[in-house]
A = this chain, B = another copy of it.
């Protein structure tokens, strides 16, 4: 098993990326191809003991910057670490691509180089989101802004398989994000998708979920379009930041400010760790012919390690093939249910 890692992508590249690769290579016993500028990678490797680890270096001299226009960067920067890593996977020399670089660029590179699986209308970005019970999976969180009901149906099937195979959830429950939990509540898209989801026996569909209840753990998989999913996910980030800031203000303005501040700061750090996507391992773009794991720009070594863990598990459980056959089954058994050629 060989995982291609974009060493130059991310706010903390290259040092945290290389450090994460070393952690993962040691823990999971996988080959990790380090793609990027050789001088940079060698300098980083020299900082760590790497004896016995399989970390081949694959040269790439350009970098897709966080500020680059995604599609353009991927087309023009052919010698970038992101594109070269993509090529490695496409040519069968590696089994998955892991990157914490420009998210839009990674999605564009994946679609362009890997291509969609047969019968898949659109790939979808899936992330784990914290709940009081642990986490749930949400997709799509940003790969597609405007979708059709049939696409949401496929997202549900892919999300359900991901929950089962990668997250180990038995018979995962699936709900669709809406503006009310009651039946019949929702946009036209949600109502039409609901009608399809109710007729999809390969998933355990339980109807609507309100945004307020996503964190309460009443669904294992939450399906939505990439626009709404993105608003939900980024809204949560903003609110969480606001709350932490206001809380620190309040505590440090209080009577026993210094002790309180200390206590809360330390608790907030633990909370952040518990809620952090680092623990779960980034987002996966489901529906492509090859595996693509995309991390947050601020990914540290631990986040990279988790992303590589997800990549390994996806390869071990043959996620791509599972999704292909899951979608095929929906199409075969419930013919005409998914009009794929529109």
Chain A residues within 8 Å of B, Cβ to Cβ: 130-132, 142, 145-146, 177-180, 186-188, 190, 210-216, 226-228, 230-247, 250-251, 254, 256, 259-260, 263-264, 266-268, 270-271, 274-275
Cβ contact of A179, chosen from B142, B180, B240, cutoff 8 A: B142
Prevailing SS type, chain A contact patch: helix
CB-CB nearest in chain B for A233: B211
Q: In the assembly, what is the distance between CA of A64 and CA of B236, in Å?
A: 33
Q: How far is the CB of A213 from chain B (nearest CB, A)?
A: 6
Are B271's CB and A243's CB within 8 A? Answer: yes
Q: How far is the CB of A315 from chain B (nearest CB, A)?
A: 30
- 11 additional contacts (CB under 8 A) given A145-B179, A235-B235: A145-B188, A214-B238, A215-B238, A215-B239, A215-B241, A231-B235, A243-B244, A243-B275, A254-B267, A260-B263, A264-B264
Are B214's CB and A235's CB within 8 A? Answer: yes
Cβ contact of A243, chosen from B179, B213, B240, B259, cutoff 8 A: B240
Residues of B within 8 Å of A212, CB to CB, are 234-235, 237-238, 241
Are B247's CB and A234's CB within 8 A? Answer: no
Query: When A187-B227, A256-B263, A263-B254 are in contact, do A216 and B238 touch as well, CB less than 8 Å?
Result: yes
| Most B CB within 10 A of own CB, among A142, A177, A234 | A234
Residues of B within 8 Å of A132, CB to CB, are 242, 245-246
CB-CB nearest in chain B for A232: B235
Residues of B within 8 Å of A246, CB to CB, are 130, 132, 271, 274-275
Q: How far is the CB of A128 from chain B (nearest CB, A)?
A: 14
Counting from the closest, the 6 A-B pairs by CB-CB distance are A211-B235, A179-B230, A211-B234, A212-B234, A215-B242, A215-B238
Are A271's CB and B247's CB within 8 A? Answer: yes
5 contacts across the A-B interface (CB closer than 8 A): A211-B238, A227-B228, A231-B235, A239-B240, A250-B274
Q: In the assembly, what is the distance between CA of A271 and CA of B190, in Å?
A: 35
Q: How far is the CB of A250 from chain B (nearest CB, A)?
A: 4
CB-CB nearest in chain B for A246: B271
Are B274's CB and A179's CB within 8 A? Answer: no
Are B228's CB and A231's CB within 8 A? Answer: yes
Residues of B within 8 Å of A186, CB to CB, are 145, 227
Q: How far is the CB of A37 from chain B (nearest CB, A)?
A: 28
Q: In the assembly, what is the distance between CA of A215 and CA of B238, in Å?
A: 6
Residues of B within 8 Å of A251, CB to CB, are 263-264, 267
Q: How far is the CB of A264 from chain B (nearest CB, A)?
A: 6
Q: In the assembly, what is the distance between CA of A251 and CA of B262, in Å?
A: 11
Cβ contact of A231, chosen from B146, B179, B247, B259, cutoff 8 A: B179
Are A146's CB and B210's CB within 8 A? Answer: no
Are A231's CB and B264's CB within 8 A? Answer: no
Q: How far is the CB of A271 from chain B (nearest CB, A)?
A: 5
Q: In the assembly, what is the distance between CA of A215 and CA of B246, in Å?
A: 11
Query: When A212-B234, A232-B211, A235-B212 are in contact, do A267 and B240 touch as well, CB less than 8 Å?
Result: no
Q: In the assembly, what is the distance between CA of A267 and CA of B256, in Å?
A: 11
Cβ contact of A242, chosen from B130, B210, B260, cutoff 8 A: B130
Q: In the assembly, what is the distance between CA of A247 and CA of B130, in Å?
A: 13
